[in-house]
Amino acid sequence: MSIATARPIDVHANSVVDRFMRHRLAVISAIILGVLVALALLAPAIEAMLGTNAETVDLLARYGPASAAHPLGTDELGRDVLVRLLYGGRVSLFVGLTATLAAAIIGTAIGLFAGYAGGRVDALVMRVTDGVIALPVLPLLIVLAAVDLGKLGLPDSIVSAENVSLYRIVAIVALVGWTTVARLVRASTLSLKTRPFILAAQAQGADKFRVMFRHILPNLASPIIVATTLSVGNVILLESVLSFLGLGIQPPLPSWGNILTGAQNTIWEAPGLAFYPGMLIFVTVIAFNFIGDGLQDALDPRARDRRAAEQH
């Protein structure tokens, strides 16, 4: 599904930055996202400032109202809602960014090799890609998330590591998320590899890795950046869904998704608790989508409308 928005192209706005700045929603989104990231990074400082701790359980102060010590009140275990949301934001943003990056790297490598090799290799790789795209993602992710790592033969130190659910989610998302970038890169590589400057590089005796990574890859930077930015939002949504279902990030490590799970269980007692984490996911995802849209305007203005009609 395309998230591209067509907007008239201003021929006077020459530089990439100028074009991005013209996309007002993208600029606002970038600012909001910057604030969110800063707050998440400052979580320990804010925690110290408030004099509370994200994991302090205080059963006497359950469902506390907003106060100076707890700006957003307390949850069903008397923990500070704001601090937990900030720590949850660290986790959700970390998963969103690293998983997308990993998927983009895998997708770029596969697309480059398939496109450059062509022929049978290309056909086979694309069949596999089509197969992965055809899979019902969420049910499959649930199975993957339920797999017992011990039975996979991984060493116990990894299986029982504290943050294993974090890395498992990143790995799972990367495993199914590479297809969009792979198709994009492969299609562009196919058309680039017959261009004169590539033939010139080959004639000069550059080996195929040099041609792929020095000559073809830099020309693909724009579409890869745009596609990757647009998928960060999806990945954050996916993480939150899995965590919400109890299969993603495992408590006590907070993520926006698993904070919502707790909030749904107490929806009758404290309906407000369900509001904040969902709102944060919503704002973050929509911000990434707008930024991706703005980047598309800025980096790739001509391809934008064409792609909007082709992609899904």
Alpha-carbon distances of 252 from 55, 99, 178, 309, rounded to whole Å: 8, 21, 30, 44
Q: What is the dihedral of CA 155, 161, 165, 167, to 10 degrees?
A: -70
Beta bridge partners of 74: 80
Min CB(85)–other proteins separation in Å? 14
> Residue 173 class from Cβ within 10 Å (0-12 exposed, 13-18 middle, 19+ buried)?
buried
Handedness of CA 246, 249, 252, 254 (dihedral sign): negative
Q: Cβ closer to other proteins: 61 or 111? A: 111
Collapsing DSSP to helix, strand or coil, 80 comes out as strand
Min CB(4)–other proteins separation in Å? 7
Min CB(147)–other proteins separation in Å? 4
Min CB(90)–other proteins separation in Å? 18
Asked whether 254 and 54 are in contact (CB, 8 A), the reply is: yes
Min CB(305)–other proteins separation in Å? 7
Min CB(84)–other proteins separation in Å? 17
Q: Cβ closer to other proteins: 101 or 145? A: 145
Handedness of CA 141, 147, 149, 153 (dihedral sign): negative
d(C-alpha 90, C-alpha 41), whole Å: 7
Min CB(213)–other proteins separation in Å? 28
Q: Kindly report each contact of residues 119-122 with a partner whose C-beta sits within 8 Å and lies 24 or more positions away, as own/partner.
A: 122/186, 122/190
42 — phi, psi (to 5°)?
-85, 5
Q: Cβ closer to other proteins: 259 or 298? A: 259
Q: Cβ closer to other proteins: 237 or 299? A: 237
Q: Which residues bind other proteins (CB under 8 A)?
A: 1-8, 25, 127, 130-131, 134-140, 142-144, 146-148, 150-152, 233, 237, 240-241, 244-245, 257, 260, 263-264, 267-268, 271, 274-275, 277-278, 281-282, 285-286, 289-290, 305-306, 308-310, 312
Q: Tell me the residue type at 281.
A: I
Q: Cβ closer to other proteins: 126 or 212? A: 126
d(C-alpha 82, C-alpha 49), whole Å: 12
Min CB(230)–other proteins separation in Å? 10
Beta bridge partners of 80: 74
74 — phi, psi (to 5°)?
-125, 160
Q: Cβ closer to other proteins: 127 or 210? A: 127
Q: Cβ closer to other proteins: 85 or 212? A: 85
Q: Cβ closer to other proteins: 213 or 282? A: 282
